[in-house]
Structure 1
Amino acid sequence: MNVVIFGASGMVGHGVLRACLLDSEVARVLVVNRRPLGITHPKLHEIIHQDFADLSAISDRLTDVDACFYPLGVSSAGLGEAEYTRVTHDFTLAAAHALLVHNPDLTFVYVSGEGTDSTERGRSMWARVKGRTENALLALPMTAFMFRPGYIQPRHGAVSRTTVYRLTYALTAWLYPVLHRIAPKHTTTTEHIGRAMLAVTRHPVEHRILFSPDINRLGA
């Protein structure tokens, strides 16, 4: 299986990339980033590209792909709806459309979040935008899965690029076993997310929107 990852340099992306590189059934891992990851691996191939809203310049390199894993995203803190929409919705749909041109049997796995608003009419800006993005992906002619994790514990060196989150994870890592015991339906790890993304490409999964319990079951 050949996969492409957008956002491999982020915390969740780190978990997805690690799972793909460790999996014997994954033959090729293509990552699209703005800057080099700084690692080497026989499976790993990188495309450095700056404008994620327009992938036409690299379209001919997005071929022979079985699955796209899309954990790329930003915090909505400090962003207006237009800018958040550009990164969250527009970048994501640009990737999906560019890949579908060459890969009609594509499986696309998008990392959204618990609380996403499928109605697109709620009061929370980020939840509306995420909901609009999910709905647009699900309407495309491809197999698409929406991952809606709650609290995500980084594993195996994964680090959040958001300063506040990074500090929070560092200070509370020792509490995760307790948190997971108290709220198992709302907690998962980067390791489980990575494994679960691979799992949905291989086994029949009834639902297209998956929450932390689904992710933990598939990624166990």
Structure 2
Amino acid sequence: MKIKAIITGASGMVGEGVLHECLLHPEVGEVLVIGRRTAGVIHPKLKEILHSDFFDLSPVKDQLKGYNACYFCLGVSSVGMKEKDYHHVTYDLTMHMATILADQNPGMTFCYVSGSGTDSSEHGKLMWARVKGQTENDLMQLPFKAAYMFRPGFMRPTKGLKNTLKGYQFFAWLYPVLRPLFPNFVCTLQEVGQAMVNVTGKGYEKRVLEVKDIVKLAHLTE
């Protein structure tokens, strides 16, 4: 059965890269992007929903039914934010959408992008890591077919895409050096997208995916 995927965050770097891989992948039959602004992509596989309020998806929830995957790439930087505000736009927003999707699509595989260093204990010193850890933990309690937490570190951006963050653009040339030196922290954005598609179709023995798991999944051929 072909994958029918919902993607969030497609106007950002990670979401744009995942969308790019999905549109290229033969196992992906349909893609629905939901966002506050258009992804700026036209493709026969692609549909878009423009929706301004992600804290109230009730007006569009019926359009979210009938999909077997969600690649949740929406997120904000915690820099300069108070924990209460970061928790609201990270945990509350994600759980609102995920709860609706679990209800609408109980056979769905849900992939959530958190980050390397996320704190599963929820009690560490780093605010963002605690909030992401709580989000991961509670997502895995929802009644999806499966939920996988992606923890990429440094990602080499995909050439030709328009939403690459400046820091990643600046350091991309170091990738051939960083990859062998820091294999537990460095992958490509292409591998993140391919790993999401592969884990949807093939599954994986772990639910929390560190960089080495992402790379392994990206290159699965059977």
Distance 1:101 1:217, change over 3 A: same
Structure 1: state its 5+ residue gaps.
Answer: none
- Where does residue 206 of structure 1 map in the other structure? 205
TM-score by length of 2: 0.94
Q: Distance in 2 between matches of 1:159 and 1:125?
A: 30
1:156-188 Cα shifts (integer Å, max 9, x gaps): 334557xxxx33222221111101111111101
* AA aligned opposite 1:52: F
Which ranges in structure 2 are unaligned for 5 or more consecutive residues?
Answer: none
- CA deviation after TM superposition for structure 1 residue 57, in Å: 0.8
- SS of the equivalent of 1:173 reads helix
Cross-structure match for 1:21: 23
With normalisation by structure 1, the TM-score equals 0.94
- Is the aligned partner of 1:56 residue 2:58? yes
Q: Deviations over 1:72-108 (max 9, x none)?
A: 1011001111111112111111111111222111110
**Number of residue pairs aligned between Structure 1 and Structure 2:** 216
* 1:168 partner amino acid: G
In the alignment, what sits opposite 2:171? 172
Alpha carbons 1:158, 1:190 under 8 Å: kept: no
SS of alignment partner, residue 202 of structure 2: coil
* Structure 1 vs Structure 2 CA RMSD: 1.2
For the residue of structure 1 that corresponds to 2:28, the secondary structure is coil
Superposition deviation, residue 15 in structure 1: 1.4
CA distance in 2 between counterparts of 1:123 and 1:10 reads 27
Q: Report the equivalent of 1:152.
A: 155
Give aligned-pair identity as a percent. Answer: 50
SS of 2:59's equivalent? helix
SS at 1:175 equivalent: helix
Distance 1:148 1:32 in 2: 22
